[in-house]
């Protein structure tokens, strides 16, 4: 439980939120990350504390990405050039 490889892979899923191009892409990527974290817990690959930690990291990353997407939209740029 809580193997370094498992936790590292989960964190990569969380970090992939940063690659979101728009809100639709963000929602998809967040869903993938949430599903991944849920599966880790259901399969007992991470304990409750690690699951909470990873979920907190996901929520923090999501907040940053949403803020960035909103800022880009306000500046008139919601897509890559």
Q: What is the pTM of this model?
A: 0.85
b/e per residue 43-58 (b: at least 16 CB within 10 A) = eebbeeebbeebbebb
**Residue 4 belongs to some domain of the structure:** no
Task: Name the nearest CA neighbour of 17 among 51, 71, 67, 74.
Answer: 67
Question: Which carries the bigger pLDDT value, residue 67 or residue 81?
Answer: 67
Q: Indicate the number of domains in the chain.
A: 1
**Residue 36 belongs to some domain of the structure:** yes
pLDDT digits (tens, 9 = 90+) for 66-77: 999 988 878 775
pLDDT digits (tens, 9 = 90+) for 56-67: 999 999 999 999
How confident is the model at residue 77, as a pLDDT? 59
**Residue 66 belongs to some domain of the structure:** yes
pLDDT digits (tens, 9 = 90+) for 11-66: 999 999 999 999 999 999 999 999 999 999 999 999 999 999 999 999 999 999 99
């Amino acid at each position: 439980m809580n193997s370094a490889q498992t936790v590292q892979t989960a964190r990569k899923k969380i970090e992939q939120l940063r690659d979101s191009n728009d809100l639709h892409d963000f929602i998809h990527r967040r869903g993938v990350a949430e599903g991944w974290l849920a599966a880790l817990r259901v399969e007992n690959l991470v304990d409750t504390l690690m699951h909470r930690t990873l979920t907190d990291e996901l929520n923090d990353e999501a907040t940053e990405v949403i803020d960035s997407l909103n800022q880009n939209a306000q500046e008139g740029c919601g897509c890559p050039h």
